[in-house]
């Protein structure tokens, strides 16, 4: 946390990990998508319905990106009907406390008129 110079503190240097985390999680839909998977596995169509406003191509891109960094796993269901489900990995689930804290902070401190789902 940076302390304001008016309060007598000196700002600390940029935290590279924090910068990387916000660059990745701040990309539209990444953090929200992880939070949406908090209740368990979901199929592509379920995720599309749960995230109004996301296009199918963006959802597909984000799921691929989250899978590549090991936060989400993709499982093909044999069927019938054949399907694919997505779920958080242990690494993805480890982010949930931080995402929950950010959501609580936003509910308490940011006006509703901003970007929503």
Q: What is the pLDDT of residues 44-100, one digit of tens each?
A: 999 999 999 999 999 999 999 999 999 999 999 887 888 999 999 999 999 999 999
Between 46 and 1, the more confident residue is 46
Delimit the domains of the chain by residue range: 28-107
**Is this model's pTM higher than 0.85 or not?**
no
Q: Which fold has domain 28-107?
A: Arc Repressor Mutant, subunit A (1.10.10)
How long a stretch of residues is the chain? Answer: 117
DSSP 79: -
Summarize pLDDT for 8-58 with one digit per residue, the tens.
688 889 899 999 999 999 999 999 999 999 999 999 999 999 999 999 999
Give the C-alpha separation, 42 to 85, whole Å.
5
């Amino acid at each position: 946390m940076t302390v304001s110079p008016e309060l007598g503190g000196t700002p600390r240097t940029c935290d590279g990990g924090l910068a990387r985390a916000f660059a990745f999680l701040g990309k539209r839909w990444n953090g929200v998508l992880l939070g949406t998977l908090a209740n368990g596995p979901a199929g592509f169509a379920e995720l599309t319905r749960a995230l109004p406003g996301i296009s199918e191509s963006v959802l597909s891109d984000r799921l691929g990106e989250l899978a590549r960094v090991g936060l989400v796993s993709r499982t093909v269901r044999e069927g019938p009907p054949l399907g694919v489900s997505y779920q958080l990995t242990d690494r993805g689930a480890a982010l949930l406390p931080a995402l929950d804290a950010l959501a609580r902070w936003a509910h308490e401190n940011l006006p509703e008129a901003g970007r929503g789902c």
